[in-house]
Amino acid sequence: MTYFWETVDTIAPGLGWPHFGPFHLAVLAVFLLLGAVLCRGYCGMDTDKRRRWRRTVALLLVADELFKDFGLLYGGNFSLDYLPLHLCSINIFLIALHAWRRPKLLDTFLYFVCLPAACAALLFPTWAPLPPFNFMVIHSFTVHFLLALYPLALTLRGDMDPQPRAFPRCFALLAAMAVPIWFFNRAFGTNFMFLMRRRGQPPQALRALRQPSARLPRAPRRGLCRDVSAAARAAPTHRRARRQIKPSADPTRPAGAGRFICELSVSFHFPA
């Protein structure tokens, strides 16, 4: 219980677990098995039982969010950054609305937005720095599992009918949520839905793709770019027959197509 009430902002380094390590893979395996059992059970229910199942999952999601709030308050770590204004937290209330009212637009939104977002969070959890026995780890795994389970089970049974042609309306719904949240971020210095960025830096969602550890070493990268540049200059094309590529003013930097490919390759990269 020493670290049970800690958060990613207060935990000491070195107490977490790696992505796709034994603990992570075990949790994913349990969720896959449990999800298959629950989806099969839902598909075999009658109309009244399915309605109660949907409302039960919606209430469990709300209870899971309240459990998170209790843990933050009990540990003295609650702040504006933990308000339910991220996309997955908003989906909790959209599922609650769908469980009772079932608007058709939410069929498409929950399937094409909520389901993949929840699956991505389970595959690449941001709560990995925390030890396994921690309230935020329990909350984060269970809430995203339920967020993925609800639209998947309903779609398999035919109780949800996602329409790809309604996908643009989902973007409109996202924009309707993002605009007031952006103003909230501006007013209170938060970063819900990862809409904000520091001066001179890309948004947080893009910074996750630009970890220095994932970049190639500087010397091999230059050599690779010089090889690409030399191959591009040697290619017998009719355009290069009429003009000659000017060498770079800096001999350590490639010119022409090689420099473009080099800069493109180091602008978009993925963390290890």
pLDDT tens for 127-173 read 999 999 999 999 999 999 999 999 999 999 999 999 988 888 888 99
In this prediction, residue 198 carries a pLDDT of 53
In this prediction, residue 3 carries a pLDDT of 92
In this prediction, residue 234 carries a pLDDT of 53
Would you say residue 267 has pLDDT above 70? no
pTM of the model: 0.71
What's the whole-number mean pLDDT along residues 256-272?
A: 45
In this prediction, residue 141 carries a pLDDT of 97
In this prediction, residue 268 carries a pLDDT of 42
Stronger pLDDT, 245 or 191, i.e. the higher one: 191
In this prediction, residue 196 carries a pLDDT of 83
Q: What DSSP character marks residue 169?
A: H
- Measure the CA–CA gap between 211 and 202, rounded to whole angstroms: 12
**CB–CB of 69/82 below 8 Å?**
yes
What's the gap between Cα 47 and its chain centre?
33
What's the whole-number mean pLDDT along residues 33-40?
A: 97
- Measure the CA–CA gap between 264 and 257, rounded to whole angstroms: 10
* Confidence label for 73 from pLDDT (cuts 50, 70 and 90): very high
What are the helix (H) ranges across the chain? 22-43, 47-74, 87-100, 104-109, 115-123, 135-157, 167-188, 204-207, 218-234, 238-242, 256-267
* Confidence label for 27 from pLDDT (cuts 50, 70 and 90): very high
In this prediction, residue 193 carries a pLDDT of 87
In this prediction, residue 2 carries a pLDDT of 83
| pLDDT one-digit tens code per residue, 52-68 | 999 999 999 999 999 99
What's the whole-number mean pLDDT along residues 75-94?
A: 92
